[in-house]
Chains A and B, each alone.
Chain A
Amino acid sequence: MTDLHSMTLHAMRDLLDRGECSSVELLDALQQRIDARAAEINCFVSVCGERARAQAQAADDARAKGEAGPLSGLPIAHKDLFCTRDHNTTCGSRMLENFAPPYDATVVEKLDRAGAVTVAKANMDEFAMGSSNENSYFGAVKNPWDLTRVPGGSSGGSAAAVAAQFVPVATATDTGGSIRQPAALCGVTGIKPTYGRVSRFGMVAFASSLDQGGVIARDAADCALVLEHMAGFDPRDSTSVDRPVDAYSASLAGDATRPLAGLRIGVPEEYFGEGLDTAVADAVMAAVDTLEALGAERVAVSLPHLPLALPSYYVVAPAEASSNLSRFDGVRYGYRCADPSDLDDLYTRSRAEGFGDEVKRRIMVGTYALSAGYFDAYYVKAQKVRRLIANDFHAAWEQCDLILGPVSPTTAFAIGEKSDDPVAMYLNDIYTLSANLAGVPGLSMPCGFAEGLPIGAQLLGPHFSESMLLKTAHHFQLHTAWHLERPAAFA
């Protein structure tokens, strides 16, 4: 059997349904390819050999008995911050290098129950802090389109693994753009749902009011299929939203010629200003033209406080991180320094040796912003500005149904190019941060290339509008071929 690796999740499901391939055969094919080539882009921290095989065998057994689940035998990778019981979950950090969680994340549990096979754990920026995947303790991930360039971050391993066709889909998380930006830079499709839509239980915390789990796949239809089995209320996550999950796959359907008739697409001028690469701007504008041809209407909108998303985010996120990461104390789990002389030495050296530079920098920024004398000027102020950003979206939804803009100001940049200046790196997130601050869902879809590197367009919608984002992207993909392009080296 050839080319199993290049199939979408839907195509794999059809193949299994028709009995032309077993789950075990499918897994074997992917694992052989992973063993042979995944190291070239360093997209995985670990592979789940025996565990995956047992899941694939169980899926085949269930199918034989006519008891197949909706994702039975379908391969998936999990970003290495979703806890997998008894299988190392590193979060890209030395701190958790040997951490084998005693429980599964809700996302893992739900996808397991639907029948999915966890093939590998995806590399990532340490504690999901980064936009280039250069911050992993386990080494930088490389972009399969050009091995000298970054895949984006923090879900760089997930995006690169899907782009290089080691797995058809991967889970990911997005705190400030960490699903959408790597999806754009790797030429794949990614969705960050509304805050609270996907459970955070068992997902290692970075910034708890911003973190949201989602999916990266090769097209919107596969994102819909996985997301509908990932999302949902979870009593174990206090911010999980108790509201039914839409039938995302079923809602993709639309009229063949004008499937987007009546849809108002807001194009904010602030997303096309200074700093945006011309080729990216052109490709994104061309995507608007395509959507118009499918029946959508273009509307000019304004998100005037967009520039303030950057300073607001880079106070709120580090503040929450400094609080969340205080749990790593070298006592209950995680890294412990050698021969601590006293308790203080145990804490300070375990943390200094267990965390990498960017994590330490953000912990310190957050600690500073929360400290006595600075709390009002930084943290409270940033939360007030956050409201201005959310209000911008509320005003925009009066005029449009969704917003379209670029994901990232440029295509993938060179490894090492921005690693010396944190603020230059943070500017990569300028178009993605505001969605997390306002809690709205966002989707990134391929919309062109510049000098052989993929470009992504971003769709943003009101809270719980995932169906509309997925449907829009799906019809865009039925009429374009950008999402079908594959990096030549990993075809």
Chain B
Amino acid sequence: MAVTEKDVFDIARLARLAIDPAEARLYASRLSRVLDLAGQLASVDTDELAPMAHPLDDAVQRLRDDAVTESDQRDSFQTQAPAVERGLYLVPRVVE
């Protein structure tokens, strides 16, 4: 299927990716190629099949006791943050 430049802007908006019109044109053609490939899936009858989300057939999500297992490592995590102040992560003003 053909992806339009408008589609690209819509998808980029959902994915929180800034793009300019020149990029949108390029992405439109390349995403069309990939979605054409994905279109091959429509050719198979899968009505009787359950979707497979996990590659090991009998896998179940393991649960653990509801107990604290991690210690506070805020200081070490915040060494990796682009901007922090008094233990808080800084972002541009959200509420005017």
Say yes or no: B82 contacts A369, CB within 8 Å. no
Q: B56: which of A100, A241, A363, A388 is its contact (CB, 8 Å)?
A: A241
Q: Does B2 contact A (CB under 8 A)?
A: no
A235 partner residues in chain B, CB cutoff 8 A: 64
With A241-B56, A315-B38, A463-B56 known as contacts, the answer to whether A381 contacts B14 (CB < 8 A) is: no
List, in ascending order, chain B residues with CB within 8 A of A438's CB: 55
Given the complex of chains A and B, what is the CA–CA distance between A26 and B35 in angstroms?
50
- Judged by a CB distance under 8 angstroms, whether B22 is at the interface is no
Distance (whole angstroms) from the CB of A389 to the closest CB of chain B: 9
B: contact size bracket: 35 or more
Within 8 A of B (CB), among A321-358: 322, 326, 329-336, 340-349, 351-352, 355
Convert A197-227 into 0s and 1s, putting 1 for each residue whose CB lies closer than 8 angstroms to a CB of B.
Answer: 0000000000001100000000000000000
Secondary structure at the B interface, as helix, strand, loop or mixed, is loop
Which A residues touch B17, using CB under 8 A? 348, 351-352, 355, 360, 363-364
Contact across chains for A388 and B33 when beta carbons are under 8 A apart:
no
Contact A385 B46 (CB under 8 A): yes
In the complex with contacts A102-B79, A355-B17, A378-B41, A361-B34 CB distance below 8 A: yes
Q: Which of A39-47, A150-158, A399-407, A419-427 contacts B (4 or more CB under 8 A)?
A: A419-427
List A contacts of B92 (CB < 8 A). Answer: 340-343, 345-346
B86 contacts the other chain (CB 8 A): no
Instruction: Say whether A239 contacts B52, CB under 8 Å.
Output: no
Q: Do residues A384 and B40 form an inter-chain contact, with CB atoms below 8 A?
A: no
Name B15's closest neighbour in chain A (CB-CB): A367
Select which of A241, A332, A341, A348 is within 8 A of B77 by beta carbon: A332
Q: Which of B54-96 contact A (CB under 8 A)?
A: 54-57, 59, 61-62, 64, 73, 76-77, 79-83, 89, 91-94
Whether A422 contacts B55 by the Cβ 8 Å rule is no
| Residue interface bits B8-46, CB-to-A below 8 A is 1, else 0 | 100110111111000000010011011111111110101
| CB–CB B34/A365 < 8 A | yes
The distance in angstroms between the C-alpha atoms of A149 and B14, with both chains bound, is 37
From A382, A421, A423, A439, B55 is in contact (CB under 8 Å) with: A439
In the complex, identify which listed stretch (A70-78, A134-142, A282-290, A305-313) lies at the interface while the others stay far away: A305-313
Cα–Cα, bound, A380→B49 (Å): 10
A364 with B31: CB separation less than 8 A: yes
Q: Are B34 and A102 in contact (CB under 8 A)?
A: no
Residues of A within 8 A of B91 (CB): 331, 343, 346
CA distance A401 to B59 in the complex (A): 23
Cβ A390 vs Cβ B41 within 8 A: no
With the chains together, A209 CA to B49 CA distance in Å? 19
Q: Which residues of A contact B57 (CB under 8 A)?
A: 390
- B55→A436 contact, CB < 8 A: yes
Q: How far is the CB of A207 from chain B (nearest CB, A)?
A: 11
Q: Check if B55 sits within 8 Å of A388, measured CB to CB.
A: no
* Residue in A311, A326, A335 whose CB lies within 8 Å of B38: A311
- Given A343-B94, A381-B41, do A422 and B14 touch, yes or no (CB 8 Å)? no
**Chain B contacts for A194, CB-based, 8 A:** 56
Q: Which A residue sits closest to B93, measured CB to CB?
A: A342
Contact B53 A383 (CB under 8 A): yes
Bound CA span A201–B59, Å: 18
Is A229 among interface residues, defined by CB-CB distance under 8 A?
no
CA distance A368 to B41 in the complex (A): 16
Min distance, Cβ B50 to any Cβ of chain A, angstroms? 7
Contact (Cβ within 8 A) A347 B16: yes
B34–A423 contact, CB under 8 A? yes
For A371, list chain B residues within 8 Å (CB).
11, 14
The residue in A194, A346, A377, A386 that gathers the most chain B C-beta atoms within 10 A of its C-beta is A386
- Inter-chain contact B76/A102, CB cutoff 8 Å: yes
The closest CB in chain B to the CB of A389 belongs to: B52
**How far apart are A202's CB and chain B's nearest CB, in angstroms?**
14
Q: Does A196 have its Cβ within 8 Å of any Cβ on chain B?
A: yes
Is B80 a contact partner of A99 (Cβ separation < 8 A)? yes
15 contacts between A and B (CB under 8 A): A194-B56, A333-B77, A336-B83, A343-B94, A351-B18, A352-B18, A363-B17, A367-B14, A368-B31, A387-B49, A387-B51, A388-B49, A421-B33, A423-B34, A439-B55
Q: A326-B16, A361-B30, A371-B14 are in contact. List 9 more A-B contacts (CB 8 A).
A: A310-B37, A345-B18, A349-B18, A351-B15, A364-B15, A382-B41, A390-B52, A390-B55, A439-B56
The 8 closest A-B pairs by CB, nearest first: A439-B55, A383-B51, A336-B82, A384-B46, A333-B80, A348-B18, A352-B18, A387-B52
